[in-house]
Structure formats: C-alpha cells, structure tokens
Amino acid sequence: MNGLVLIALAFVSVFIVTQNDWRKGLCLTIAWGYFYGILKSNYVNSWGHFIYDGAVAGLYAGTMFCPPPAIDRLLDSSIKGWLKWLIGWPLFLFFVPMQHFLIQAVGLRGNVLFMPMALFGAWLGDDGRRQLALTLSVMNMVALAFASAEFSMGVEAFYPVNEATEIIYKSQDLAGGTFRIPAIFANAHSYGGTMTLSLPWILGGLFQRSRNPLEYYLLGAGLMAAGIGVFLCGARLPVVLAGLMLGFGLMTRNLSLPGVVFLGIAAVVLFNMVQGEERMQRFATLQDTEAVAGRIGGSVNEHFLDLL
C-alpha cells in the first residue's frame, strides 16, 4: 500500500461518513490526523505527506454535497466574513509571481487549507463538542497504547529509519540515552502538543451534563491518557502548556465534589508515575536556567532583539 492509496482511502471514508453526519465526519478526520505521523513514516514517498490532506478534502467535499442543517449554521455568518479575508489575501499573493509556482503552492496550502475548519467549530454545538471530546479521549488512549509499547519495546519497532523519521532518531536525550516517544505522531513534540491541546476539549466534556455515566469514565480515561502522554513523550514545552491550560481551566470553572475527587486522584497517580520513572522527568531540566537561556538564545532572531 502506498501513500496515494492511503490518500484515497482517507478521502472516501471521510466523505461517506460526512454525508451521513458531518460531526462524525469531523471526528473521523481527527482520527486520520492522529495516525498521520506513523502512516507517513512507514509509507515514505511524496504522496505520504498528503494523507491527512485527503481526509480534510473528504470532509469539505462531503459537507458541500450534504450541507449541515440550517440550525447548525446559525452562528457562522460573522466567521464567513473573516474567512473571506483570511483566504482571499493568501490566494491573491499566490498569483503574484515572487517565487517558483510549486513553492507558492506549498505556502498556499499551509495558509488556506485548514481555514474552513473555523466553520466546523462554529457549527459544533453541545452535541458536537461532546462527540469531539469523546473522540479525542478514545484517540488519546490509542496513542498511549502505542506509546507504552514504544517505551518498552523501543521506537525502532514502529518507526523505520528514513528521511521522514530523521527528527525522531535525532531526539535521543532521555535518561539512559533512549529516544523520545512519538506514539503514533510524526515526532515527540507532535504527540505531547496534541495531548495538551486535547485537554480543554475533554475537560469541557466532563463539565457538560450527560445521562450516560460511561461517557464520564471514557472522558476521564482520555484525560488521564493525555496527562501521561505529556510526560511520556519527553518534550518539555507540552508540560508547561498543559500546566497553564489546566490552571486556567480550573480557575474559570466551578468543579463539583466528584470532579475535585477525580482530578485529585488523577494528579496523585500521575505524580507517582512520573516520580518513579526517570525517562518521564526531562521537564525537570527546565530548572537549569542557563541551559534554557542558551536554548532560547539559539532559537530566536538575536538581530531582531538587538533592534528592540
């Protein structure tokens, strides 16, 4: 199976599901996004980089052929105005011959392809947000299962050495000289970053009222999987961002007693896991202020800072 076949499979599967229910189509698109990294790494060719694009195209096409009900589209009028400018300006620059056509096409894709996703966010509603939170919870647990296997068996069992995995095999800086954990993503930062960005959605799902108690257990498990993944990946920035997101979320919401108890138990379990495994403690190197300052100094534009 090559990348082109996977693109077609992603497009067709999302297109069919979207025509039945656009919310489920969006959830399936996200699932393809979770698996994009490991699929691209194992099916290395030019087409492999566009697997997720195929899923997104299937979502857009399915929505065009079977638009959401009018009640779902009540709040998208203001967003459409912004999208016209946000898409129109890059599209205008695309036709200005400043660079090679293919280079400008790559830039257009990066700036325009995902812009319409803002409409889906406006259409979600409570039911859509609940479905999305449940999907993220399930996918977080799938990612954790792969991450756990890589932690014990080694990254090499899941990711071959090639140009697509070069960054993975350059990130060998955990305790014992082991690799950072990418789970099913393109690299460890993508794993940790996705887990961090899933936290607000899952927390929001926990705050919603539901008649099905199984959903609460699923969301709780997804939240725990995200927390473990943030530390397990070995990247430091997701730990900082996750702490900020959780702190902000807890300050802006009034938790019930069961919610406080659950988060307390989850925090204790996570603390003991991290404390007992040195490979999950790379974030502790943030205490070395000189190393952090040197890393930042090497990453920013020093000439720009001099101008300031």
Helices vs strands, H then E, count in the chain: 14, 0
Mean pLDDT of 14-25: 94
28-41 burial, b for 16+ CB within 10 Å, e for fewer? bbbbbbbbbbbbbb
Which DSSP letter does residue 180 get? P
Q: Are 25 and 63 in contact (CB under 8 A)?
A: yes
Confidence of residue 297 (pLDDT cuts 50, 70, 90): low
pLDDT at 247: 81
Q: Are 78 and 86 in contact (CB under 8 A)?
A: no
Q: Which two tokens stand for residue 5?
A: 């076949």
3-state secondary structure of 196: helix
Alpha carbon distance 219, 203 (integer Å): 8
Q: Are 239 and 271 in contact (CB under 8 A)?
A: no
The predicted-structure confidence for 221-235, as pLDDT tens digits, reads as follows 999 999 999 999 988
> pLDDT over 70 for what percent of the chain?
88
The predicted-structure confidence for 94-139, as pLDDT tens digits, reads as follows 888 888 888 888 888 888 989 999 889 888 888 889 999 999 999 9
